A and B are shown apart, each in its own frame.
Chain A
Amino acid sequence: MVEARIPHSLQEALILMSQATYTIVNGATDLLVQKRSWSGTIPKFSQPPLYIRGLKELDYICERSGMLEIGATTSLETILHHPKTPKILQHIILTMASPAIRHQATLSGNIQNASPAGDSLVGLYLLDASIVLHNRHHERVISIQDFIVDVRKTMREADELITKVVLPIDKFSQCAYTKVGPRKTDAIAKVAFGGLIDIENDRIRDIRIAFGAVYKTVLRSRKIEESLMGKDRSAVPEMKHVLLEGYASLIQPIDDQRSNRWYRKTTALNLLEAFLDSISR
């Protein structure tokens, strides 16, 4: 018999977590689906669930020291409507689940789930988001890329809680995002592509490219991105072939009940090509 707990403060949550190992339940929009059981029976948790969605002190989104800070229990819908939310993240949230789910689901939940098809993760990788974790005694900050290590595996320790996500304020001149799902809404991505670019006087100051659902985590290659930094936008077409080959060698999608490897890879590269074409245009 496991005992569910509903802490009333962050402090209480962290104390509980220092004493026992809990399954953190935030918006529960994914977790309760994973734990579904015969209707009328209680979902089976191997560890006691700790319900944090009601923690008001983590329900905020604000600008601080030139960064955007998003508390762990802030709903996706709230994030969507905040004026400082980066455009790419707005685009992504609009493709996530359904309005009802977006009112309940959270960004930190999507992060902790660490699904290869996690929609928000593409945006967070592109933005170099930082994840802030607390345990009873200390706080640490870790980049999203280092935080997610594998399919559904993160660096979070058992006594740690994601308390906030920190994003830079948008500085990109152009952003692109495509989620390829089996239908227009309420769907899990077969492939996702995101691109950010900052161009000044036709020169690429910053470029970032990420793919979702084609690798065990979101795929982003700083090495390939660097090869484009400082280049004139007119140089992109001649580099296109090498860039496509570069990503083609990294993309490793799977065959499953939702799509197939060939389609995922072909589509991912098509999306990249369309993005590269849009730069030189």
Chain B
Amino acid sequence: MKFQPDIGTPIPRVDAKEKISGAAAYINDIDMPGMLYAKTLRSKMAHGKIIKRHYPTLPEGYAIIDYRHIPGTNIVKAIYEDWQIFPVDEVRYIGEPILLVVGENKDVIIDILEAIEITYEEMEPQFEWIDSVIHYHYEKKHGSRPFADANRIIEHTYETGYQEQAYIEPQGMIGYLDQDKMTLIGSIQCPYYVKNAVLMALGWENERVRVIQAHVGGAFGGKEEYPSLIACQLAMAVIQVNKPVKLIFEREEDIIASTKRHPAQIAMKAAIDSEGHIMALKVHVGIDAGAVIGLSGVVLSRAMIAATGAYTIENLDVTGDVYRTHSVPTGAFRGFGAPQMMFAIEMFMEHIARNLGKEPLAYRMAYVAKQYDLTATSGTFRDPILMQKMIEEAMKRSRYEEKALQYQNLHRYQGIGMSFFLHGCGFTGSGEATTIKAKVRLRREASGVVHILIAAVDMGQGVRTAMRKLVAHMLEVPIDQVIYDLPDTDCVPDSGPTVASRTMMIVGGLVARAAQRLGMEPQIAVEIEETYHQPSEIQWDEARMQGDAYPAYSWGVNVVEVAVDPVTGEVSVVGAWSVYDVGKAIDTLMVRGQADGGLAQGIAYGYLEVMRHHQGKIQQRNLTDYIIPTAADMPPMETYLFDNPYAYGPYGAKGVGELTLVGGAPAIAKAIEMAIKRQITKIPVTPEMIMELMTHGED
């Protein structure tokens, strides 16, 4: 065997040159002969009945596309199917797309849009969280029964706000007919989601829809289900005008109309015995779906399953509701319900300890999950859990104890906070086995060149580099002998969506198995296929939410240090340390890249990124008002990786992408609590909130 460096040894990104040089074609870089443009007319009303539509007489070559042009079903295929492609007679949120205007000249399109008159009858909008569309419940062991014997009950409610994905490249797609095949090129995360949605909207047979990924300038979940809506609308337009049509969102349009992170309200209640131990937790998770439920039920279940975070609690009663309101639909976003829950449980554990007069860190440490403990849903943590060692490492690197002692006792407006967390890798429950059924292929040509045929999308996380590296390493061939083109549904099988921290662990796992078989294959030109099978020990009861919700978990510790300006309430992040167990890093530098970006996004979710709606209208509509961190807002971040190989991951790899986001908010919130000596139950912790707490708040 040739000498090979460890798989984790960093290599240059395979697409670095084309992206840095500007050669990589993003969707707006692509133009086609005869291509037309489309622009969307959107509802200005949160809830209203469409009484009348007045369309102007259109110049030659221009078209208006609305619900009447949908040949198939007027629904965007998603999990809960309530997303209309175009509304018929009722609008349900501000920004809801009513129609497209399509044509050659953008100025003419704007003139047409301005001449269109929609007459509404205003209806009462609902912004309160009362219309529960999905309700879930599960229990662990004795559920809430121990509350009857509790010595003391402690309860707090935690609130989290919207978060905007803020990908650099807004939503966009081009549609055209290739012979009689509907072809869509887009900035997307999930080529097959788009394909299946368009098939249902058109009512066409499988072979007549093709979806191709363009280079994607960031997604963060925002291009998981949302592009399916655009694709369906665009497909209608393409059929009408029989020419290529390009639809690209402007930034404000994107912010107003596309999905964001679900705001949540999480009520936590603990039954405490006479010794101060937690006997049971009762948790209620409420999330705001906005006007469309879509995949909110899955977001809710991920949040609920994470109810005890990185801790083991013996008895649980967990309920949750998805509420429908007349505000912008919320949807997939890196973490998918976990960031909300991780904030709530991490703050609650801290608050229980304080309420009991106990030292919070020691109190929390006693509950940290260990191998073979039962998970919240009574599954089993089968693999080793390294949290004790990881916490020690994080504390040593950040000098946590020394700083915490100092900051707790002095009133110097400095603080340090530490969060413990985990993230379930892959789809929740039995989704991988029952819904996704991932399929991958490797094809070796006679020349020895190997093609990786999967639908995974590189949206900046580096999956094209990682997969090529994986296969090259396994076959012991140079990386340029391994090809991984941008996915095209006509060429690659459905390996599932690029979501849920599943790509390396699940898809990569299948690719590795296929590579192993390919390596043993005597014939040169050959194609190998692998299909996902749930490990037999993983059992999940969907209806009762019982069993192993995930095949594996990644774990993490974040430490964040802050200084608060007592004059202005402004927070400076002065230090950040992370320790992660992602099984095995396929490329340590890429994992660090994910770690830096994820932590920045997670910390910012906790203190910086404010988004609210007023009567259904988003108030922060551009990147001047919606504040994401710059390099100047982030300190140097130190990241340490612990190897803990997972049997079914390639080289032991587990999920990375979401893990690095979910612990940021509680870590910074705890640090701010220490700095201002006030209790925090709500994020983002803005200077406005800090000033309010310092002026009127309780210790």
Contact of A260 among B110, B624, B633, B688 (CB under 8 A): B688
Closest chain A CB from B234 CB (angstroms)? 17
Please tell me if the beta carbons of B567 and A183 are within 8 angstroms of each other in the complex: no
Please tell me if the beta carbons of A38 and B106 are within 8 angstroms of each other in the complex: yes
Per-residue B-contact encoding for A266-277, CB less than 8 Å = 1, 0 else? 110011011000
Interface size class of A (residues with CB under 8 A): 20 to 34
Contacts of B608 in A (CB 8 A): 182-183
Selected interface stretch from A147-155, A166-174, A185-193: A185-193
Interface size class of B (residues with CB under 8 A): 20 to 34
The verdict on A39 contacting B248 (CB below 8 Å), with A183-B630, A188-B624, A267-B691 known, is: yes
- Distance in angstroms between the alpha carbons of A183 and B628 in the assembled complex: 8
- Distance in angstroms between the alpha carbons of A191 and B695 in the assembled complex: 18
Per-residue B-contact encoding for A32-44, CB less than 8 Å = 1, 0 else? 0100001111000
Within 549-584 of B, Cβ neighbours of A (below 8 Å) are at 567-570, 572
Q: Is A252 in contact with chain B by the CB < 8 A criterion?
A: no
Q: Which residue of B lies closest to A259 (CB)?
A: B688
- Distance in angstroms between the alpha carbons of A180 and B571 in the assembled complex: 11
Total of A-B residue pairs, C-beta within 8 Å = 66
The verdict on A267 contacting B569 (CB below 8 Å), with A38-B110, A39-B248 known, is: yes
The verdict on A266 contacting B630 (CB below 8 Å), with A182-B608, A257-B625 known, is: no
Within 247-270 of A, Cβ neighbours of B (below 8 Å) are at 257-260, 262-263, 266-267, 270
A contact face: mostly helix, strand, loop, or mixed:
loop
Please tell me if the beta carbons of B250 and A263 are within 8 angstroms of each other in the complex: no
The verdict on A274 contacting B632 (CB below 8 Å), with A182-B608, A263-B687 known, is: no
- Distance in angstroms between the alpha carbons of A33 and B610 in the assembled complex: 22
The verdict on A182 contacting B568 (CB below 8 Å), with A263-B691, A266-B691, A266-B695 known, is: no
Contacts of B621 in A (CB 8 A): 257
- Distance in angstroms between the alpha carbons of A259 and B692 in the assembled complex: 13
Contacts of A41 in B (CB 8 A): 106-107, 110
Q: Is A184 in contact with chain B by the CB < 8 A criterion?
A: yes
- Distance in angstroms between the alpha carbons of A163 and B314 in the assembled complex: 75
Q: Is B629 in contact with chain A by the CB < 8 A criterion?
A: yes
Closest chain B CB from A212 CB (angstroms)? 14
Per-residue A-contact encoding for B10-39, CB less than 8 Å = 1, 0 else? 000000000000000000100000000101
Please tell me if the beta carbons of A267 and B568 are within 8 angstroms of each other in the complex: yes
Contact of B619 among A185, A191, A257, A274 (CB under 8 A): A257
- Distance in angstroms between the alpha carbons of A262 and B632 in the assembled complex: 27
Q: Is A143 in contact with chain B by the CB < 8 A criterion?
A: no
Contacts of B610 in A (CB 8 A): 182
Per-residue A-contact encoding for B583-608, CB less than 8 Å = 1, 0 else? 00000000000000000000000001
Q: Which residue of A lies closest to B628 (CB)?
A: A183
- Distance in angstroms between the alpha carbons of A212 and B567 in the assembled complex: 16
Query: With A39-B248, A39-B250, A267-B691 given, can you name 14 additional A-B contacts, CB distance below 8 Å?
Result: A38-B106, A182-B627, A183-B627, A183-B630, A183-B632, A184-B572, A184-B633, A185-B633, A187-B627, A259-B688, A263-B692, A266-B691, A267-B568, A273-B567
